Amino acid sequence: MSGEVGSTSPVLGTRFATTARQHLRILKQYKRIAMVGLSANPFRPSHFVALYMRAAGYQIFPVNPREREILGRPCSATLAQVPQPVEIVNIFREPSAVPAIVEEAIAAGAKVVWMQLGVIHEQAAARALNAGLEVVMDRCVKIEHARFFGGLSTLGLNAGVLSARKQRG
């Protein structure tokens, strides 16, 4: 099993690069995911990722201040309002929002901060690591799960839209 997913991530070659073994261990060990920036729109990548991870047996906690409910679950405005402890904080927000989310993750007692494809914030990652959290940056939790547990043929994998960035045009 190779150590890296792809060779184009700006995270590769930095102290924040993570290995396939780390991703596998995290996905086996932790089952409660707060998805910050989860959209109620079924055509958004975050919604698809949440559906996939829920179907794979993970407990999903939607975090989006603009929504009341997503995927039949009450939506929290902040991580502090999530009614149960979370283990992974999966970030589907723009990089400028990451430092505040990391502070919330630390306060909430999360174990992992997982930044989706295109979400890179080295200072926030360093803050999380210094606080004892694990950090995965510029990786999709759904793609990583699929490569280890047999979901690579799932619709949407190669669509090029599993990103926190809004599509232009």
Which superfamily, per CATH, for 20-149? NAD(P)-binding Rossmann-like Domain (3.40.50.720)
pLDDT at res. 39:
96
Domain boundaries, the chain: 20-149
pLDDT at res. 147:
87
pLDDT means per 10 residues in the chain (169 residues)? Answer: 56 85 95 97 95 96 96 96 97 97 98 96 97 96 90 50 51
pLDDT tens-digit series, residues 103-148: 999 999 999 999 999 999 999 999 999 999 999 999 999 999 998 8
pLDDT at res. 77:
97
pLDDT at res. 98:
98
**Reported pTM:** 0.85
Contact 115/92 with Cβ under 8 angstroms?
A: no
First to last CA, the chain: 37
From the number of C-beta atoms within 10 Å of its C-beta (0-12, 13-18, 19+), residue 13 rates as exposed
Half-sphere exposure of 127 (CA within 13 A, CB side): 14
**C-alpha dist (Å) from residue 131 to 28, 81, 89, 92, 124:** 22, 21, 14, 21, 11
pLDDT at res. 4:
45
